[in-house]
Amino acid sequence: MSKELPTITILGTGYVGLTSAAFFASAGFKAYVVDINPERLQVVREGRSFFYEEGLDSLIAAGVDSGKLIPTSSYEESVTKSNVVFSCVGTPDKPDGSSNLTYVYSAAKEAANHMNPGSVFVQKSTVPVGTGEKVQTMFKQASKDIHYVSNPEFLREGTALRDSLWFDRIVLGGDNQAAIGTVMSLYERVHNKRSAIARIAVLDAPARPPEGDYISTSLNSAELIKVSANAFLALKISFANSIAKLADAANADINEVMNAVGADPRIGKAFLNAGRGYGGGCFPKDVSGLISSGIQHGVDLEIMQAVESVNASMPGYIAEKLLVSFDGSFKNKKIAVLGLAFKAGTSDTRRSPGVALANDLAKRGAVVRVYDPEAAEEARPELRKSVVETSTIEEALEGCEAALIATDWPHLVNYPLKDYAKKLTNGKILVDCMNRFDPKEVRLAGLRYIGVGRR
Catalytic residues: 282
Region for residue 365 given its phi and psi (left: phi exceeds 0; alpha: psi -120 to 50; beta: otherwise) = left
Range 355-380 burial, b when 16+ CB lie within 10 A, else e: bbbbbbbbeeebbbbbbbbbbbebbe
Handedness of CA 306, 308, 314, 316 (dihedral sign): negative
Pairing of strands 213-217, 334-338: unpaired
d(CA 427, CA 420): 12
Rounded to the nearest 5 degrees, what angle is found at the Cα of 96, between the Cα atoms of 91 and 99? 20
First to last CA, the chain: 68
Pairing of strands 69-72, 388-389: unpaired
Report yes or no: 270 and 259 within 8 Å, Cβ to Cβ: no
Question: For 267, how many CA atoms within 13 A lie in the half-sphere containing its CB?
Answer: 15
Report yes or no: 284 and 352 within 8 Å, Cβ to Cβ: no
Pairing of strands 334-338, 367-371: parallel
Residues whose CB falls within 8 Å of the CB of residue 372, separated by 6 or more in sequence, listed in order: 338, 339, 340, 341, 354, 379, 407, 409
CB atoms within 10 A of CB 209: 13
Residues constituting the chain: 455
d(CA 414, CA 305): 36
